[in-house]
Amino acid sequence: MKELIHPSRDFLTELLVRNTCTYIDIKELPRIIECAEINRVKLYFLIKALKLCKDAIRDAIRKHVNELRKEYIEWVSEVKRILKMLKERKIKFIVIKHAPYPHLSYDIDIVFPEIEDFEKAEDIITSSMILRVDPHVSSLREYKAATLVVPSKFMWENRVKTYIYGEGVYTISNELSTIVYALHPLKHREIYLGDLISYSYYFQKSDRKKLLKLINKINCSLTIGYIENIVSTIYNHKPRVILAEPFNNLIRIYALKTFTENEVFPLKIPRELIALVSLKAPLFKFLILNI
């Protein structure tokens, strides 16, 4: 596949994926920081750069870190406040898409397995001036990417306990998190570097048999195969998901097309690929030969 030659992409992937701070012209730094923010990895990037880069880069980004510190503290406090209020009201909910790296966002995805849970929570999730809650509600507003749907009740059935900023809450299993992060690019028709980092993290932690079962149930083999080919290029390893031919080769072609048609992250997904994965043909459920 095409080498990652653009300065922003190369610098970001080398730093965040391979823990290597490559040489850049310091004048490029503002544009790279902007690229990191667009890709949902600004805070992660700044922390890594402070730790791994040379003095000139560290000195240049310290002011950005200081500017984010207060904003980050306020954001974490607000997330904790919302979660605590939902728990105190004994509302059933799940937090999904919680990034496995230091992250500052402007929204949080919360799943409600019943409409009644959402109705009881509505005043809470709309009470913040700095945090937007993105609700996914059973039968009302499911988590959807193209034509692929992960039902709220299904997420509730696959919930596990976790802690988010010290608050004990439910999230989804590693296997379902892998799928959700693979589907997320389809929602926006583009691939953010943060999604790839999260997908790779949860894939590594997943039980492969459980993951395959969920992939077949949701009918997202083609999407997983495509994202895995993108990730294998970024992380420089062989694809861990092998599809039956001719689909395996077709997905590889679309992954190559994605890189050749984009110079920077986020990567625009080919329209033909979105159309293909949207078909949801029964045959697609059993395409994975190895995972």
Per-residue model confidence as pLDDT tens for the chain (291 residues)? 444 444 345 789 999 999 999 888 889 999 999 999 999 999 999 999 999 998 889 999 998 998 898 899 999 999 999 999 999 999 999 999 999 999 998 899 999 999 999 999 999 999 999 999 999 999 999 999 999 999 999 999 999 999 999 999 999 999 999 999 999 999 999 999 999 999 999 999 999 999 999 999 999 999 999 999 999 999 989 999 999 999 999 999 999 999 988 888 999 999 999 999 888 766 667 788 888
Confirm if 132 and 156 have CB atoms less than 8 A apart.
no
Q: What is the pLDDT of residue 291?
A: 87
In this structure, is residue 76 part of a structural domain? yes
Residue 262: give its domain's CATH number: 3.30.460
Whether 1 is covered by a domain: the verdict is no
- For residue 156, what pLDDT is reported? 97
Rounded to whole angstroms, the Cα distance separating 102 from 99 reads 7
Which one, of 211, 213, 288, lies nearest residue 243 by Cα?
288
Q: What is the DSSP letter of 255?
A: H
Same domain, 92 and 153: yes
Residues 26 and 142 in one domain: no
| pLDDT at 222 (0 to 100) | 94
State which of 34, 55, 71 marks the end of a domain: 71
Residue with tokens 């500017």: 67
Structure tokens given for 130: 């700095």
Same domain? 50 vs 158: no
Integer CA distances (angstroms), 270 to 8, 76, 199, 222, 282, in order: 21, 36, 20, 14, 23
- 136 domain residue, yes or no: yes
Please check whether residues 28 and 92 belong to one and the same domain.
no
Kindly state whether residues 46 and 95 are assigned to the same domain. no
191 with 269: CB under 8 angstroms?
yes
Torsion 115-120-126-132 (CA) sign:
negative
Domain containing 57 equals 7-71
**pLDDT of amino acid 116:** 97
Same domain, 62 and 87: no
How many domains does the chain divide into? 2
* Sequential DSSP letters for 165-221: TTEEEEEE-HHHHHHHHHHHHHHHTEE-HHHHHHHHHHHHHS-HHHHHHHHHHHT-H
Q: Which of 134, 133, 239 is nearest to 182 (CA)?
A: 239
Report cis status (omega within 30 of 0) of the bond before 266: yes
Per the structure block, which two tokens stand in for 135? Answer: 């609700």
Same domain, 17 and 89: no
